Amino acid sequence: MTLSGGAARLIPRGMAAAAQGSLNHSADVTRRLDAAAAACERDGVRFTELRRHVLGLVLAAEGPVTAYGLLDQLRGTRWNAAPPTVYRALDFLLQQGLIHRVERLNAFIGCDEGASHTHAAQFLICNTCGAVDEVDDHAVADAVGLAAAAKGFTPAHATIEIEGTCAACAGSAAH
């Protein structure tokens, strides 16, 4: 994917202010935000500063982040937003396929694909370290669709969440 703006683009002032503390926007986050902006422009939807800011927080998080956690991070910034504002921003990002909701954790993570479309995804949730890994296996999504169709059921949304032990934790347990 070719990005307009590129890596030289500066972090907006509001975001830089919120970057104090644990939040540290890497070049990767900036690149993904720029890609999201380009995708929204292509789709003709508004990628407002708040939406960009919330997506930036989700992408910069170490793991899944809750709406409450986001509100906490927004507190004290100029985005001292009311919960409905944040929920609306999250809904927008979900609809655009820029983030996913991990139902099991009631939390949000950025989509690895970062594409402006929703897609069926599977999540591997580590019970030991809490890491969540996104898997986009079309064979799994197709199998779910077929199984539902066999019952005459039309699925609108399917999130598959698998709890267990990640490779890193399994490795450290073996030593």
Q: What is the contact surface with Zn ion in residues (CB under 5 A)? A: 111, 113, 121, 126, 128-129, 131, 166, 169
CB of 12 to Zn ion, least distance (A): 25
Distances (CA, A) of 20 to 9, 25, 42, 84, 124: 19, 10, 32, 24, 31
Nearer to Zn ion, 56 or 110 (CB): 110
Nearer to Zn ion, 35 or 111 (CB): 111
Q: Are 130 and 138 in contact (CB under 8 A)?
A: no
Nearer to Zn ion, 56 or 114 (CB): 114
CB of 8 to Zn ion, least distance (A): 27
Residue 86's CB is within 10 A of a number of other CB atoms, namely: 20
The pair phi, psi for residue 51, each rounded to 5°, is: -60, -40
For residue 169, what are its two tokens?
A: 């934790």
CB of 169 to Zn ion, least distance (A): 3
